[in-house]
Amino acid sequence: MAEVYIQDGETLESALRRFKRKVQQEDIIKEIKKHSYYMKPGEKKRVKAALARKRNRKKRNKDMD
């Protein structure tokens, strides 16, 4: 759980920036998206394999250039 305490003389905008940075560092958004719906084990496997193919294809195209 990300918590940010406003310090004396600190603006709300800077505290909000610190909060957003902390949320990003703790991967809270990624975790929420991951648990937002159930994925069957076979479906997880297919998605993982598709992402691996996509990464490899990008890597090959980058190496060719």
Domain span holding position 31: 12-64
**Residue in 27, 23, 21, 16 with CA at minimum distance from that of residue 5:** 16
> What is the distance between the alpha carbons of residues 21 and 16, in angstroms, rounded to a whole number?
9
Residue 7 belongs to some domain of the structure: no
42-52 pLDDT, tens digit per residue, is: 999 999 999 99
In sequence order, which residues have a C-beta less than 8 Å from that of residue 50 and are 6 or more positions away?
Answer: none
Residue 2 belongs to some domain of the structure: no
Instruction: Name the pTM for this structure.
Output: 0.49
Residue 6 belongs to some domain of the structure: no
Q: What average pLDDT does range 1-9 have in this prediction? A: 90
Which amino acid, 55?
R
Q: What is the dihedral of CA 2, 39, 50, 24, to 10 degrees?
A: -10
Residue 33 belongs to some domain of the structure: yes
17-64 pLDDT, tens digit per residue, is: 999 999 999 888 888 888 888 989 999 999 999 999 999 999 999 888
Residue 1 belongs to some domain of the structure: no
Pull the structure tokens for residue 47. 């998605």
